[in-house]
Amino acid sequence: MNHKTLLQMLSAYSDGYTNESQRATVLSHLETCSECRKFLREQKQMKAGIHEAADFHLHHAFSAKIMASIQATEAMEIPWMGVEPSARNTVFALAVAVVMLIAVTVFGGTQQEFDAQHLLTAGMNDSLANNVLMHQTELSKDDVMLAVMTK
Amino acid sequence: MTDDYTLVRDAQGGSHKAFEALVHKYQRQIANLIYLSMGNRDEVEDLVQEVFVRAYRSLPRFKFDASFFSWLYRIGLNLCIDEIRKKKIRRIVSLDFLTEDAIEHQRQEHSSALTSEGTLYDERKEIIRDALQQLSMEYRQVILLREYEDLTYEEIAKTLHITVQAVKSRLFRARAELKILLKDYFQEMV
């Protein structure tokens, strides 16, 4: 086993991640290798050093400051205080549905009216009744019957 | 003390008090992880605040797949990576850092900061923080989670989304690199 593999094993050993046989190998190697003993010692010093270097302290009211910031953000983002997001989504979906319904009714209705008018006009111009009756000043019963039958 | 599961559940149900308890519990750990990751004291408070604000917003999506701390740390890590990226862009844009005067100014500022802080103890802490800054983000994170947070390999793997084997080898390489960077530090200790 080369030294690099042993050092790698040593790193895992210091964290308790070696099995029985690996542990035995490491322990017997440590008895004879001063470099590996140094490696292990420095690893402990490094850990202690990192803990010492983590010396950032927050002031005691920091959590209150965070909560104030969260509440301020919430107040700005949600004008309907207390309303569940799912309820908001439902209302929004309903509003969209109503707008679509109105749009269909308005535009669909105009189209229908236009078509009826077009048919009526077209029918009148082409009908025999129109051609015969438009020149008469007075209409008899027979004229009306003719108009009905030919339309 | 109420456990994380109950606090998170209550916070998900809308309890500000529960969330504040979680903030109180983890703020120092998150602050120090950010401090050691970024190496700059001035920006820590703002970043910690941002971590908790983001966590609060994402809380409905937290499904207890990992520990609350791991999840929180992941948010912090992403934030740090974003911040480092932004800084790199700003540095490229400004180019001030390339002038000799600017380098000299930085060196003077750094040494006067150490002298004014005074003690050898503070200097040694600064050496550790500087060395950590020289590690890649990958190595820095794995070292911090193990040596500072004392997380198990399994927890580190879950937090960083890598395998346990990757944790093992990354940790070994990170330690080896850090030892080279801290050569003088160890000599002082002898």
Q: What is the pLDDT of residues A22-54, one digit of tens each?
A: 999 999 999 999 989 999 999 999 999 999 999
Nearest to B153 among A7, A17, A46 (CB): A17
Per-residue pLDDT band at A79 (split at 50, 70, 90)? low
What are the respective helix, strand and coil percentages of chain A, to the nearest 5? 80, 0, 20
Whether residue A86 is found in the same domain as residue A48: no
Whether residue A26 is found in the same domain as residue A89: no
- Number of folded domains that form chain B: 2
- The gap between the terminal CA atoms of chain B, to the nearest Å, is 42
Whether residue B73 is found in the same domain as residue B129: no
CB contact under 8 A, B36 and A51: no
Work out the burial of residue A47: count CB atoms within 10 Å of its CB; fewer than 13 is exposed, 13-18 middle, 19 or more buried.
middle
Whether residue B136 is found in the same domain as residue B185: yes
Residue B171 lies in a domain: yes
Whether residue B53 is found in the same domain as residue B129: no
CB contact under 8 A, B48 and A11: no
For residue A66, which residues of chain B lie inside 8 Å, CB to CB? 20, 23, 27, 48-49, 52-53
Whether residue B4 is found in the same domain as residue B77: yes
Residue B14 lies in a domain: yes
CA distance A94 to chain B (A): 24
Structural domain containing residue B76: 1-83
Residue A13 lies in a domain: yes
Q: Which carries the bigger pLDDT value, residue B35 or residue B94?
A: B35
Whether residue B5 is found in the same domain as residue B79: yes
pLDDT for the residue numbered A11: 92
Whether residue B136 is found in the same domain as residue B182: yes
pLDDT for the residue numbered B101: 63
For residue B153, which residues of chain A lie inside 8 Å, CB to CB? 15, 17
Q: CA-CA distance, B67 to B155, in Å (whole number)?
A: 8
Whether residue B3 is found in the same domain as residue B52: yes
CB contact under 8 A, B171 and A54: no
- Number of folded domains that form chain A: 2
Whether residue B74 is found in the same domain as residue B125: no
Residue A101 lies in a domain: yes
What's the ipTM? 0.81
From A97-106, B22-31, B109-118, the region with the lowest mean pLDDT: B109-118
Structural domain containing residue A34: 3-55
Q: CA-CA distance, A71 to B16, in Å (whole number)?
A: 9
Residue A60 lies in a domain: no
Q: Which carries the bigger pLDDT value, residue A55 or residue A136?
A: A55
Structure tokens at B16: 């500000």
Position A8 pLDDT exceeds 70: yes
